[in-house]
Amino acid sequence: MAAQEPVGDGAETARVSLLYDPKVRALVAQVALILLVIWLGYSMVNNTLVNLEKQSIASGFGFLGTTAGFSIAPTLGTFIVDYAEESSYGSAFYVGLFNTLLVAFIGIILATIWGFILGVARLSNNWVIAKLSTVYIETLRNIPLLLQIFFWYFAVLRSLPNPRESVEFGANIVLNTRGLFMPRPLPEAGFGWVSIAILIGLVGTFFMRRWAHQRQESTGEQFPVFWTSVGLIVGFPILVFLVLGMPLDWQIPELRGFNFRGGMVIIPEFMSLLLALVLYTATFIAEIVRAGILAVSHGQSEAAHALGVRSGPTLRLVVIPQALRVIIPPLTSQYLNLTKNSSLAVAIAYPDLVSVFAGTVLNQTGQAVEILLITLAVYLTISIVTSVLMNWYNAKMSLVER
């Protein structure tokens, strides 16, 4: 570009026609493009509104306050929102949102753990473990997810007993076709102190870790950080709980009529969706983990061993931190995939956002444009937040150059 610009002083350039001035031309082209995009956006919105009006289809977001009138299967979402038939379409939206977030959140945690185990297993020196892991990964990641969801739902459902012949696990936990029933904890007066104890434990752990880190930097002495953390976060609240005389009651599920009532229930739709998502996504995570570990030069472990560092700390302090730099970016994509794939829930009646909001609510109100826009915006937001968090973590783990 620079070579084509007129060479000379200001007086000479001024004489060149504006038509041939590359700066002006670039500016005009860009302004024209932006105007075109704005016009396109405006005409799309305008067209939509005019056509909805013309076909007398209701529009606007007023429907969110209208009574929903339908029921949603009991899940964490219905519990948090306290949803009932008299609730509004807006509440139904939150039920769907919480259910999507729940399955995505738990799914991400479990898929990460299972994926790491599989990835390490595939690199194992033990022939059987390595081959088992290879076969598992190659089978599950090559079968479409929707089929796996159907498999886990219908295959597992058919093998479960009906409520009257439930499998009992003891401690009032029962399993049947209607789900996994567990006692529901009912906090009594004084239980608030246990929550405060957990909070104290968390804050204490934070400061303890800082202190231990500083001490190691200055003296080289190590402190049992992990076990102290466990003691503070788990042990301390349990102690408070016992001292206060166990201020917690349990609502036991019992068989009445058709089904178990009371207690908590994990519906089979949730279990099979979670199972399918975790088992499927974990195969991809396993491959990412394997790639990450293989990317760390073998010389690194050899150097650590030469310094007398044992195998455990070598993996934890030398290999994994370096592997994570390779692992985190593609891992983020898998987290996003898992979240978006959770919308396949609609096939097996798990009341997620797509099923409840972009399904039932859309059909009862008929306001497809608004509802799909909201749904798109929600998935976009969840994905962007996940990306931002993972990018922050990636920046934190990246190589600090001195």
3-class secondary structure, 179:
strand
Of residues 45 and 385, the one with the C-beta less far from other proteins: 45
Question: Toward other proteins, which CB reaches closer, 22 or 366?
Answer: 366
How far is 254 from 172, CA to CA, in rounded Å?
Answer: 9
- Residue 363 sits in the site that holds other proteins (CB under 8 A): yes
Q: Does 349 bind other proteins (CB under 8 A)?
A: yes
Total site size for other proteins, rule CB under 8 A:
50
Residues 257-276 touching other proteins, rule: CB under 8 A, are 257-259, 261, 267-269
Look at residue 223 and give its three-state secondary structure.
coil
Tokens encoding 25:
């031309």
Please state, in angstroms and rounded to a whole number, the distance separating the CA atoms of residues 107 and 335. 9
CB atoms within 10 A of CB 30: 10
Amino acid (one-letter) located at 24: V
Among 31, 57, 109, 388, binds other proteins (CB under 8 A): 57
Which of 293, 174, 192 lies closest to 237, judged by CA?
Answer: 192
193 contributes a contact to other proteins by CB under 8 A? no
Residue 183 beta carbon to other proteins: minimum distance, rounded to whole angstroms:
18
Phi, psi of 88 (to 5 degrees): -90, 170
Binding to other proteins, residues 129-168 (CB under 8 A): 154, 157-158, 160, 162
- The pairing of beta strand 248-251 with beta strand 264-266: unpaired
The minimum distance between CB 84 and other proteins, in angstroms, equals 9
- Interface positions, 66-85, toward other proteins (CB under 8 A): 69-74, 85
Distance CA 41, CA 385 (A): 26
Q: Shortest CA distance to 223 belongs to which of 241, 205, 211? A: 211
202 three-state secondary structure: helix
CB of 85 to other proteins, least distance (A): 5
Q: Which stretch binds other proteins (CB under 8 A): 15-23, 212-220, 308-316, 341-349?
A: 341-349
- By CB under 8 A, what part of segment 225-264 binds other proteins? 256-259, 261
For residue 293, the minimal CB distance to other proteins (Å) is: 37
Query: Within positions 166 to 185, which residues make up the interface with other proteins, using CB under 8 A?
Result: 177-178
Provide CB contacts within 8 A for 123, sequence distance 6+.
130, 290, 293, 294
Does residue 389 belong to the site contacting other proteins (CB under 8 A)?
no
- The verdict on 366 binding other proteins (CB under 8 A) reads yes
Nearest distance, CB of residue 351 and other proteins, angstroms = 8
**Which member of 359, 374, 378, 382 binds other proteins (CB under 8 A)?**
359
CB of 19 to other proteins, least distance (A): 34
Strands 174-176 and 167-168, how do they pair? antiparallel
Would you count residue 106 as binding other proteins (CB under 8 A)?
Answer: no
DSSP designation for 161 = P
Question: Does residue 50 touch other proteins according to CB under 8 A?
Answer: yes
Edge-to-edge strand ranges of the sheet holding 179-182: 167-168, 174-176, 179-182, 264-266
All residues at 6 or more sequence positions from 186 whose CB lies less than 8 Å from its CB, including other chains: 248, 249, 250, 251
Q: Does 322 bind other proteins (CB under 8 A)?
A: no
Residues that bind other proteins (CB under 8 A): 44-45, 47-48, 50-52, 54-58, 69-74, 85, 154, 157-158, 160, 162, 177-178, 256-259, 261, 267-269, 346-349, 351, 355, 359-360, 362-366, 368-369, 372
